[in-house]
Structure 1
Amino acid sequence: MHSLDSLAALPDGALSSPAAQRNANAILGVLRAHLPACGRVLEVAAGSGEHALAFASALPGLDWTPSDPSPEARASISAWRRGGPSNLRPPMALDADDPETWPRDGFDALYCANMTHISPWSATEGLMDMAGRVLRRPGGLLALYGPYREAEVPLAESNAAFDDSLKARDPAWGLRDREAVDALARSHGLAATRRVQMPANNLMLLFRSA
Protein backbone atom coordinates (compact mmCIF):
# COMPACT_ATOMS: atom_id res chain seq x y z
CA MET A 1 0.00 0.00 0.00
CA HIS A 2 1.81 3.12 -1.24
CA SER A 3 1.03 6.10 0.98
CA LEU A 4 3.06 9.01 2.30
CA ASP A 5 0.36 9.73 4.87
CA SER A 6 0.71 8.72 8.51
CA LEU A 7 -1.88 5.97 8.83
CA ALA A 8 -3.39 5.11 12.18
CA ALA A 9 -4.48 1.52 12.80
CA LEU A 10 -7.90 1.28 14.45
CA PRO A 11 -8.96 -1.63 16.69
CA ASP A 12 -11.30 -3.10 14.06
CA GLY A 13 -8.51 -3.41 11.49
CA ALA A 14 -9.28 -0.23 9.58
CA LEU A 15 -6.58 2.29 8.72
CA SER A 16 -7.28 5.98 9.18
CA SER A 17 -5.72 8.57 6.87
CA PRO A 18 -5.67 12.21 8.04
CA ALA A 19 -5.29 13.38 4.43
CA ALA A 20 -8.36 11.42 3.32
CA GLN A 21 -10.35 12.97 6.14
CA ARG A 22 -9.19 16.48 5.21
CA ASN A 23 -9.90 16.34 1.48
CA ALA A 24 -13.04 14.19 1.37
CA ASN A 25 -15.59 17.03 1.49
CA ALA A 26 -13.84 19.08 -1.20
CA ILE A 27 -13.58 16.07 -3.51
CA LEU A 28 -17.17 15.07 -2.81
CA GLY A 29 -18.35 18.50 -3.91
CA VAL A 30 -16.77 18.01 -7.34
CA LEU A 31 -17.94 14.42 -7.70
CA ARG A 32 -21.50 15.31 -6.71
CA ALA A 33 -21.58 17.95 -9.43
CA HIS A 34 -20.26 15.71 -12.20
CA LEU A 35 -21.12 12.07 -11.47
CA PRO A 36 -24.43 10.68 -12.76
CA ALA A 37 -27.28 10.36 -10.26
CA CYS A 38 -27.14 6.59 -10.62
CA GLY A 39 -24.74 4.07 -12.12
CA ARG A 40 -21.57 2.14 -11.33
CA VAL A 41 -18.36 3.76 -10.08
CA LEU A 42 -14.95 2.08 -9.82
CA GLU A 43 -12.47 3.63 -7.38
CA VAL A 44 -8.88 2.82 -8.35
CA ALA A 45 -6.17 2.77 -5.65
CA ALA A 46 -8.73 3.28 -2.88
CA GLY A 47 -6.13 3.08 -0.10
CA SER A 48 -7.56 3.09 3.42
CA GLY A 49 -11.16 3.03 2.14
CA GLU A 50 -12.32 6.18 3.90
CA HIS A 51 -13.16 7.92 0.64
CA ALA A 52 -15.12 4.88 -0.53
CA LEU A 53 -17.25 4.90 2.61
CA ALA A 54 -17.77 8.67 2.59
CA PHE A 55 -18.70 8.88 -1.09
CA ALA A 56 -20.91 5.79 -1.21
CA SER A 57 -22.75 7.08 1.87
CA ALA A 58 -23.23 10.54 0.38
CA LEU A 59 -24.19 9.29 -3.11
CA PRO A 60 -26.69 6.46 -2.49
CA GLY A 61 -27.74 6.22 -6.14
CA LEU A 62 -24.26 5.07 -7.15
CA ASP A 63 -22.97 1.50 -6.90
CA TRP A 64 -19.42 2.13 -5.57
CA THR A 65 -16.68 -0.49 -6.03
CA PRO A 66 -13.33 0.29 -4.36
CA SER A 67 -10.15 -1.43 -5.49
CA ASP A 68 -6.50 -1.62 -4.51
CA PRO A 69 -3.60 -3.98 -5.29
CA SER A 70 -2.52 -4.03 -1.63
CA PRO A 71 -3.97 -6.74 0.67
CA GLU A 72 -3.43 -4.34 3.59
CA ALA A 73 -5.50 -1.68 1.86
CA ARG A 74 -8.26 -4.14 0.96
CA ALA A 75 -8.43 -5.32 4.57
CA SER A 76 -8.85 -1.71 5.69
CA ILE A 77 -11.51 -1.07 3.04
CA SER A 78 -13.40 -4.15 4.22
CA ALA A 79 -13.21 -2.92 7.81
CA TRP A 80 -14.60 0.51 6.87
CA ARG A 81 -17.29 -1.21 4.81
CA ARG A 82 -18.70 -3.10 7.79
CA GLY A 83 -21.86 -1.31 8.78
CA GLY A 84 -21.64 0.89 5.69
CA PRO A 85 -24.30 1.40 3.01
CA SER A 86 -25.41 -1.43 0.74
CA ASN A 87 -24.17 0.41 -2.37
CA LEU A 88 -20.56 0.08 -1.16
CA ARG A 89 -19.24 -3.12 -2.73
CA PRO A 90 -16.40 -5.39 -1.53
CA PRO A 91 -12.93 -4.27 -2.65
CA MET A 92 -11.38 -5.63 -5.83
CA ALA A 93 -7.72 -6.69 -6.11
CA LEU A 94 -7.05 -4.38 -9.05
CA ASP A 95 -3.61 -3.18 -10.14
CA ALA A 96 -3.69 -0.47 -12.81
CA ASP A 97 -0.31 -1.75 -14.01
CA ASP A 98 -1.60 -5.31 -14.56
CA PRO A 99 -4.29 -5.81 -17.25
CA GLU A 100 -5.00 -9.31 -15.94
CA THR A 101 -6.59 -7.73 -12.85
CA TRP A 102 -8.78 -5.22 -14.69
CA PRO A 103 -12.56 -5.67 -14.52
CA ARG A 104 -14.42 -7.08 -17.48
CA ASP A 105 -17.65 -5.30 -16.60
CA GLY A 106 -18.45 -1.76 -17.62
CA PHE A 107 -18.61 1.28 -15.34
CA ASP A 108 -20.14 4.73 -15.68
CA ALA A 109 -17.25 6.45 -13.89
CA LEU A 110 -13.76 5.87 -12.52
CA TYR A 111 -12.30 7.82 -9.59
CA CYS A 112 -8.61 7.74 -8.65
CA ALA A 113 -6.90 9.87 -5.99
CA ASN A 114 -3.19 10.27 -5.29
CA MET A 115 -1.98 7.40 -7.45
CA THR A 116 -0.30 8.95 -10.46
CA HIS A 117 2.57 10.48 -8.48
CA ILE A 118 3.04 7.56 -6.03
CA SER A 119 3.51 4.93 -8.75
CA PRO A 120 5.53 4.51 -11.96
CA TRP A 121 4.25 6.18 -15.12
CA SER A 122 3.22 2.75 -16.40
CA ALA A 123 0.45 2.72 -13.76
CA THR A 124 -1.01 5.92 -15.22
CA GLU A 125 -0.71 4.39 -18.69
CA GLY A 126 -2.62 1.36 -17.41
CA LEU A 127 -5.25 3.53 -15.76
CA MET A 128 -5.96 5.37 -19.00
CA ASP A 129 -6.01 2.15 -21.02
CA MET A 130 -8.40 0.59 -18.52
CA ALA A 131 -10.63 3.69 -18.47
CA GLY A 132 -10.84 3.64 -22.26
CA ARG A 133 -12.00 0.02 -22.08
CA VAL A 134 -14.41 -0.05 -19.12
CA LEU A 135 -16.22 3.28 -19.35
CA ARG A 136 -19.32 1.84 -20.92
CA ARG A 137 -20.98 4.77 -22.61
CA PRO A 138 -20.08 8.11 -24.26
CA GLY A 139 -19.59 10.73 -21.60
CA GLY A 140 -18.32 8.26 -18.99
CA LEU A 141 -16.27 10.09 -16.37
CA LEU A 142 -12.68 9.61 -15.22
CA ALA A 143 -11.89 11.82 -12.20
CA LEU A 144 -8.29 12.20 -11.00
CA TYR A 145 -7.25 13.97 -7.80
CA GLY A 146 -3.77 15.00 -6.73
CA PRO A 147 -0.90 17.43 -7.39
CA TYR A 148 0.33 18.00 -10.94
CA ARG A 149 2.92 20.06 -12.78
CA GLU A 150 1.53 22.62 -15.21
CA ALA A 151 3.57 24.56 -17.75
CA GLU A 152 1.50 27.71 -17.29
CA VAL A 153 1.35 27.64 -13.48
CA PRO A 154 4.39 28.16 -11.21
CA LEU A 155 4.98 25.09 -9.07
CA ALA A 156 4.15 25.79 -5.42
CA GLU A 157 7.13 25.44 -3.07
CA SER A 158 5.31 22.76 -1.10
CA ASN A 159 4.67 20.73 -4.26
CA ALA A 160 8.28 21.14 -5.40
CA ALA A 161 9.49 19.80 -2.05
CA PHE A 162 6.94 16.99 -2.24
CA ASP A 163 8.16 16.08 -5.73
CA ASP A 164 11.75 15.94 -4.50
CA SER A 165 10.75 13.68 -1.61
CA LEU A 166 8.86 11.35 -3.92
CA LYS A 167 11.81 10.99 -6.29
CA ALA A 168 14.18 10.41 -3.38
CA ARG A 169 11.96 7.55 -2.24
CA ASP A 170 11.59 6.06 -5.74
CA PRO A 171 13.03 7.62 -8.94
CA ALA A 172 10.01 6.29 -10.88
CA TRP A 173 7.64 8.40 -8.77
CA GLY A 174 6.98 12.14 -8.95
CA LEU A 175 4.44 14.78 -9.91
CA ARG A 176 3.21 14.25 -13.47
CA ASP A 177 2.88 16.92 -16.14
CA ARG A 178 -0.79 17.63 -16.66
CA GLU A 179 -0.21 18.08 -20.40
CA ALA A 180 1.30 14.57 -20.59
CA VAL A 181 -1.66 13.14 -18.68
CA ASP A 182 -4.08 14.93 -21.01
CA ALA A 183 -2.24 13.60 -24.09
CA LEU A 184 -2.24 10.07 -22.70
CA ALA A 185 -5.97 10.32 -22.03
CA ARG A 186 -6.62 11.47 -25.61
CA SER A 187 -4.73 8.47 -26.95
CA HIS A 188 -7.31 6.26 -25.20
CA GLY A 189 -10.38 8.14 -26.38
CA LEU A 190 -10.76 10.36 -23.30
CA ALA A 191 -11.15 14.13 -23.55
CA ALA A 192 -10.03 16.50 -20.80
CA THR A 193 -13.14 18.50 -19.91
CA ARG A 194 -12.45 20.28 -16.65
CA ARG A 195 -9.65 21.34 -14.32
CA VAL A 196 -10.76 22.19 -10.79
CA GLN A 197 -8.42 23.89 -8.34
CA MET A 198 -8.53 22.13 -4.97
CA PRO A 199 -7.17 22.96 -1.51
CA ALA A 200 -3.48 22.49 -0.68
CA ASN A 201 -2.31 22.92 -4.31
CA ASN A 202 -4.12 19.86 -5.61
CA LEU A 203 -6.29 19.50 -8.72
CA MET A 204 -9.27 17.50 -9.86
CA LEU A 205 -8.89 16.58 -13.53
CA LEU A 206 -12.02 15.37 -15.28
CA PHE A 207 -12.05 13.37 -18.52
CA ARG A 208 -14.97 12.08 -20.58
CA SER A 209 -15.11 9.08 -22.88
CA ALA A 210 -15.99 9.72 -26.52
Structure 2
Amino acid sequence: MDIAFSQACENNKQPIITVLQNAFANTKRVLEVGSGTGQHAVFFAKQLPQLCWQPSDLLVNHHSINSRRQSSGLTNMLAPIVLDLHQPWQLALAKPSLQGVIDGVFTANTLHIVSSALVKLFFTGVKQSLVKGGVLCVYGPFNYQGKYTSQSNANFDLWLKDRDAESGIRDFEHIENLAEEAGLALISDNPMPANNRLLVFIMN
Protein backbone atom coordinates (compact mmCIF):
# COMPACT_ATOMS: atom_id res chain seq x y z
CA MET A 1 0.00 0.00 0.00
CA ASP A 2 1.36 3.39 -1.01
CA ILE A 3 2.06 6.09 1.56
CA ALA A 4 -0.15 9.10 0.87
CA PHE A 5 1.52 12.48 0.31
CA SER A 6 0.18 16.04 0.48
CA GLN A 7 2.09 18.89 -1.11
CA ALA A 8 -0.08 21.34 0.82
CA CYS A 9 1.25 19.89 4.09
CA GLU A 10 4.80 20.47 2.94
CA ASN A 11 3.96 24.03 1.90
CA ASN A 12 2.22 25.09 5.11
CA LYS A 13 4.00 23.16 7.87
CA GLN A 14 6.63 25.82 8.56
CA PRO A 15 4.20 28.78 8.86
CA ILE A 16 1.94 26.66 11.07
CA ILE A 17 4.70 25.53 13.44
CA THR A 18 5.74 29.15 13.92
CA VAL A 19 2.34 29.77 15.54
CA LEU A 20 2.10 26.40 17.30
CA GLN A 21 5.43 26.86 19.07
CA ASN A 22 3.87 29.74 20.97
CA ALA A 23 0.29 28.44 21.18
CA PHE A 24 1.37 25.03 22.55
CA ALA A 25 4.29 26.32 24.65
CA ASN A 26 2.72 24.98 27.86
CA THR A 27 0.88 22.03 26.34
CA LYS A 28 1.60 18.41 27.25
CA ARG A 29 -0.60 16.38 24.88
CA VAL A 30 -2.15 17.45 21.59
CA LEU A 31 -4.94 15.58 19.87
CA GLU A 32 -4.74 16.12 16.11
CA VAL A 33 -8.14 15.65 14.48
CA GLY A 34 -7.87 14.46 10.89
CA SER A 35 -4.17 13.63 10.63
CA GLY A 36 -4.48 12.56 6.99
CA THR A 37 -1.09 11.61 5.59
CA GLY A 38 0.70 12.02 8.91
CA GLN A 39 3.13 14.62 7.52
CA HIS A 40 2.01 17.32 9.94
CA ALA A 41 2.09 14.92 12.89
CA VAL A 42 5.71 13.90 12.26
CA PHE A 43 6.92 17.44 11.62
CA PHE A 44 5.13 19.02 14.56
CA ALA A 45 6.07 16.25 17.00
CA LYS A 46 9.71 16.69 15.99
CA GLN A 47 9.54 20.46 16.42
CA LEU A 48 7.66 20.23 19.74
CA PRO A 49 9.61 17.53 21.62
CA GLN A 50 8.22 18.64 25.00
CA LEU A 51 4.74 17.32 24.20
CA CYS A 52 3.05 14.11 23.05
CA TRP A 53 1.32 14.30 19.67
CA GLN A 54 -1.75 12.09 19.33
CA PRO A 55 -2.77 11.63 15.67
CA SER A 56 -6.31 10.56 14.82
CA ASP A 57 -8.28 9.82 11.68
CA LEU A 58 -10.51 7.25 10.07
CA LEU A 59 -8.91 3.82 9.90
CA VAL A 60 -8.38 4.10 6.13
CA ASN A 61 -5.69 6.76 6.71
CA HIS A 62 -3.78 4.97 9.46
CA HIS A 63 -1.37 3.18 7.12
CA SER A 64 0.34 6.39 6.01
CA ILE A 65 0.37 7.82 9.54
CA ASN A 66 1.85 4.65 11.01
CA SER A 67 4.43 4.32 8.23
CA ARG A 68 5.67 7.86 8.79
CA ARG A 69 5.65 7.43 12.56
CA GLN A 70 7.72 4.26 12.39
CA SER A 71 10.19 5.77 9.93
CA SER A 72 10.61 8.90 12.06
CA GLY A 73 11.66 7.07 15.20
CA LEU A 74 9.87 9.74 17.26
CA THR A 75 8.94 8.69 20.78
CA ASN A 76 6.57 11.63 21.40
CA MET A 77 4.34 10.85 18.41
CA LEU A 78 1.78 8.27 19.48
CA ALA A 79 0.10 5.62 17.35
CA PRO A 80 -3.01 6.98 15.62
CA ILE A 81 -6.45 6.38 17.09
CA VAL A 82 -9.71 6.06 15.18
CA LEU A 83 -11.76 9.22 15.53
CA ASP A 84 -14.98 9.58 13.56
CA LEU A 85 -16.77 12.91 13.95
CA HIS A 86 -20.07 11.05 13.73
CA GLN A 87 -19.22 9.31 17.00
CA PRO A 88 -18.61 10.70 20.52
CA TRP A 89 -14.92 11.42 21.05
CA GLN A 90 -15.02 9.50 24.32
CA LEU A 91 -15.06 6.31 22.25
CA ALA A 92 -11.73 7.28 20.68
CA LEU A 93 -10.23 8.63 23.89
CA ALA A 94 -11.28 5.70 26.08
CA LYS A 95 -7.70 4.54 26.74
CA PRO A 96 -6.74 5.14 30.38
CA SER A 97 -3.57 6.91 29.20
CA LEU A 98 -5.62 9.51 27.33
CA GLN A 99 -8.37 10.37 29.78
CA GLY A 100 -8.36 13.89 31.17
CA VAL A 101 -5.04 14.94 29.70
CA ILE A 102 -5.90 16.49 26.34
CA ASP A 103 -4.75 20.09 26.77
CA GLY A 104 -4.30 20.83 23.08
CA VAL A 105 -6.33 20.12 19.94
CA PHE A 106 -5.13 20.79 16.39
CA THR A 107 -6.90 20.34 13.09
CA ALA A 108 -5.93 21.40 9.58
CA ASN A 109 -8.06 21.57 6.44
CA THR A 110 -10.98 19.68 7.92
CA LEU A 111 -13.86 22.07 8.66
CA HIS A 112 -14.42 22.92 5.00
CA ILE A 113 -14.24 19.25 3.96
CA VAL A 114 -16.80 17.82 6.38
CA SER A 115 -20.49 18.70 6.52
CA SER A 116 -21.84 21.65 8.50
CA ALA A 117 -23.40 19.17 10.94
CA LEU A 118 -20.00 17.59 11.57
CA VAL A 119 -18.45 21.01 12.13
CA LYS A 120 -20.87 21.44 15.04
CA LEU A 121 -20.02 17.96 16.31
CA PHE A 122 -16.33 18.85 16.11
CA PHE A 123 -16.85 21.64 18.62
CA THR A 124 -18.96 19.34 20.78
CA GLY A 125 -16.03 16.95 20.87
CA VAL A 126 -13.61 19.75 21.75
CA LYS A 127 -15.90 20.90 24.57
CA GLN A 128 -16.05 17.39 26.02
CA SER A 129 -12.35 16.60 25.64
CA LEU A 130 -10.25 19.74 26.08
CA VAL A 131 -9.34 20.63 29.67
CA LYS A 132 -9.77 24.11 31.10
CA GLY A 133 -6.95 26.32 29.87
CA GLY A 134 -6.38 23.99 26.92
CA VAL A 135 -5.69 25.39 23.46
CA LEU A 136 -7.47 24.70 20.17
CA CYS A 137 -5.75 25.55 16.85
CA VAL A 138 -7.74 25.41 13.61
CA TYR A 139 -6.04 25.85 10.22
CA GLY A 140 -7.83 26.42 6.93
CA PRO A 141 -9.62 28.94 4.70
CA PHE A 142 -12.40 31.12 6.12
CA ASN A 143 -14.80 33.74 4.82
CA TYR A 144 -15.21 37.03 6.66
CA GLN A 145 -18.58 38.80 6.84
CA GLY A 146 -19.84 36.33 4.25
CA LYS A 147 -17.18 37.28 1.70
CA TYR A 148 -14.33 35.30 0.17
CA THR A 149 -10.85 36.56 0.90
CA SER A 150 -9.63 35.71 -2.60
CA GLN A 151 -10.83 34.55 -6.00
CA SER A 152 -8.95 31.29 -5.52
CA ASN A 153 -10.95 30.62 -2.36
CA ALA A 154 -14.17 31.37 -4.22
CA ASN A 155 -13.19 28.88 -6.92
CA PHE A 156 -12.19 26.34 -4.28
CA ASP A 157 -15.55 26.72 -2.54
CA LEU A 158 -17.40 26.03 -5.78
CA TRP A 159 -15.31 22.89 -6.25
CA LEU A 160 -16.02 21.77 -2.69
CA LYS A 161 -19.79 22.27 -3.01
CA ASP A 162 -19.88 20.53 -6.38
CA ARG A 163 -18.18 17.56 -4.72
CA ASP A 164 -20.36 17.68 -1.59
CA ALA A 165 -23.11 20.26 -1.13
CA GLU A 166 -22.72 20.10 2.68
CA SER A 167 -19.05 21.04 2.56
CA GLY A 168 -17.58 24.46 1.85
CA ILE A 169 -15.50 27.29 3.29
CA ARG A 170 -16.97 28.34 6.64
CA ASP A 171 -17.67 31.86 7.82
CA PHE A 172 -15.23 32.95 10.51
CA GLU A 173 -18.09 34.46 12.51
CA HIS A 174 -19.96 31.13 12.51
CA ILE A 175 -16.86 29.26 13.70
CA GLU A 176 -16.24 31.82 16.42
CA ASN A 177 -19.86 31.47 17.60
CA LEU A 178 -19.59 27.67 17.73
CA ALA A 179 -16.34 28.03 19.66
CA GLU A 180 -17.91 30.42 22.16
CA GLU A 181 -20.84 28.05 22.67
CA ALA A 182 -18.27 25.33 23.44
CA GLY A 183 -16.62 27.51 26.08
CA LEU A 184 -13.72 28.70 23.94
CA ALA A 185 -12.39 32.22 23.51
CA LEU A 186 -10.45 33.42 20.47
CA ILE A 187 -6.84 34.35 21.26
CA SER A 188 -5.54 35.10 17.79
CA ASP A 189 -6.39 34.94 14.09
CA ASN A 190 -3.17 34.42 12.15
CA PRO A 191 -2.75 34.94 8.39
CA MET A 192 -1.23 31.97 6.58
CA PRO A 193 0.00 31.37 3.01
CA ALA A 194 -2.44 30.57 0.18
CA ASN A 195 -5.27 32.61 1.74
CA ASN A 196 -5.58 30.40 4.82
CA ARG A 197 -5.80 31.31 8.51
CA LEU A 198 -4.77 29.73 11.79
CA LEU A 199 -7.27 30.39 14.57
CA VAL A 200 -6.16 29.92 18.18
CA PHE A 201 -8.71 29.48 20.99
CA ILE A 202 -8.43 28.82 24.72
CA MET A 203 -10.88 26.82 26.82
CA ASN A 204 -12.42 28.91 29.59
When the two structures are superposed, what TM-score results if normalisation uses the length of structure 2?
0.92
Residue aligning to 1:29:
18
Q: Which amino acid aligns with 1:72?
A: V
Q: Does 1:113 align with 2:108?
A: yes
Q: Which amino acid aligns with 1:51?
A: H
Residue aligning to 1:4:
none
Segments of 4+ moved more than 3 angstroms: none
CA distance in 2, matches of 1:38, 1:187: 23
Q: Does 1:201 align with 2:201?
A: no
Residue aligning to 1:122:
117
CA distance in 2, matches of 1:52, 1:102: 18
How much has 1:155 moved relative to structure 2?
2.7
Residue 97 of structure 1 contacts residue 122 of structure 1 at CA under 8 Å; is this kept in 2?
A: no
CA distance in 1, matches of 2:7, 2:173: 30
How much has 1:24 moved relative to structure 2?
0.5
How has the CA–CA distance of structure 1 residues 181 and 79 changed in structure 2, closer, same or farther, with 3 Å as cutoff? same
Bigger relative contact order, structure 1 or 2 (CA pairs below 8 A, ≥6 apart): 2
Deviations 1:95-122 (A, max 9, x none): 1231164424230100000000001012
Residue aligning to 2:42:
53
Structure 2: 5+ residue runs without aligned partners? none
Q: Does 1:14 align with 2:8?
A: no
What secondary structure sits across from 1:208 in the alignment?
strand
Residue aligning to 2:136:
142
Residue 13 of structure 1 contacts residue 79 of structure 1 at CA under 8 Å; is this kept in 2?
A: no
How has the CA–CA distance of structure 1 residues 89 and 151 changed in structure 2, closer, same or farther, with 3 Å as cutoff? same
CA distance in 2, matches of 1:32, 1:108: 14
Q: Does 1:178 align with 2:178?
A: no
Residue aligning to 2:62:
74
Farther-moved stretch of structure 1 (35-44 vs 56-65)? 35-44
CA distance in 2, matches of 1:97, 1:151: 29
